[in-house]
Amino acid sequence: MLLIISSALIVAYTILFSRYTASKKHLVNASIGKCISMSVGMVSSTMIGLMLSMLIPGELAYTTILSIIISSVCTYFTGKHFGINGIIETLSASFMGAMMGAMLGDMTPANRQTFIIVAMDIIYLLSILSLLFTINKEAVKQDEMQKTKLTPIFVSMILSISVLGIAVIMEANAKAADDVPEMNHQHQH
């Protein structure tokens, strides 16, 4: 369940980020655009590699190649807003992040998987939030426009972290229930 929620968060925030970036791309200079592309490519592909390695444990070669392919396709759409340089930066970062995420997931012991998923989700959300603030700041500098209110995005991230917390509690309770030995009350006469 935690992997499903984590996957949904990544897809939702990547789409949100891509749409927000598309509306502000003309206001962000090229060097900042490349940095933004690289950051989003790295953090999202690391999450993709991590989740795939948790879904297919013990198959590092397959999860690495699969995560590179999936993350390249996904991150292309975020990098294209900043032209060919943005695409190159995004694809390069996604290649590296996909490999690191697959290795991280494969090396994580089973009793620490929940911790690493939640920690990486929080890192992902904070990275996306900081990149949205960076884009907003650049847009204000370039266009002398009013700042876009990012409060709804901030609130949605707080709610997302709360949903992650609830999922962790539910998963921990389910594991605890599975670990309780059944009492066998058979009486022999």
Phi-psi region of 15 (alpha: psi -120 to 50; beta: other; left: phi over 0): alpha
- Contacting residues for 80 by C-beta, under 8 A, at least 6 apart: 86, 87
Residues of the chain above pLDDT 70, percent: 84
d(CA 146, CA 47): 33
Range with top average pLDDT, 61-65, 142-146, 158-162: 61-65
- Contacting residues for 148 by C-beta, under 8 A, at least 6 apart: 136, 139
pLDDT tens-digit readout, 53-64: 999 988 999 999
- Contacting residues for 82 by C-beta, under 8 A, at least 6 apart: 25, 28, 30, 33, 34, 36, 37, 89
> Does position 167 have pLDDT exceeding 70, yes or no?
yes
159 confidence band (pLDDT: 50, 70, 90)? confident
d(CA 34, CA 85): 7
Torsion angle in degrees (nearest 10) through CA of 18, 89, 132, 45: 70
Taking all residues of the chain, what is their mean pLDDT, rounded to a whole number? 81
pTM exceeding the 0.85 threshold for the entire prediction: no
pLDDT of the residue at 10? 84
